[in-house]
Amino acid sequence: MLRMEYDNERKVFIDCEFRRFIPSALLRLGYIYPELNLSFSGNHIIITGDFSKYKIREIYRDVRHQIYREKIFQDTLDMRKNLYKMLAGQ
């Protein structure tokens, strides 16, 4: 669910099950959108700044993509570590 507040601020609702992935996702989003300020409060990622260079729909898509990408990364981390150990013969 997306909720827009002001012309220079947008909020993206994030389900609580995805909260632990937000800090890493915000780091990645910071280099994708360096002109925007990204923060997290409650159940929302808050995006502020000048949106004239961007399409809002693409920003929302990228926010969700980066959170899900981080979820996949963390969920498969142990499996990848074990695979690397096995391949290295440890």
**From CA 66, how far away is CA 16, in angstroms rounded?**
16
**From CA 71, how far away is CA 79, in angstroms rounded?**
14
**From CA 43, how far away is CA 39, in angstroms rounded?**
11
Phi and psi of 13, rounded to 5°?
A: -70, 135
Question: Is 82 strand, coil or helix?
Answer: helix
pLDDT digits (tens, 9 = 90+) for 21-46: 999 999 999 999 999 999 999 889 99
Structure tokens at 35: 């002109």
Q: Could you give the domains of the chain?
A: 2-88 (3.30.1360)
Q: Are strands 37-41 and 2-6 parallel, antiparallel or unpaired?
A: unpaired
**Ordered per-residue pLDDT tens for the chain, 90 residues:** 444 444 688 999 999 999 999 999 999 999 999 999 999 998 899 999 988 889 999 999 999 999 999 999 999 999 999 998 888 887
**Tally of CA atoms within 13 A in the half-sphere of 48 that contains its CB:** 7
The pTM (predicted TM-score) of the whole model is 0.78
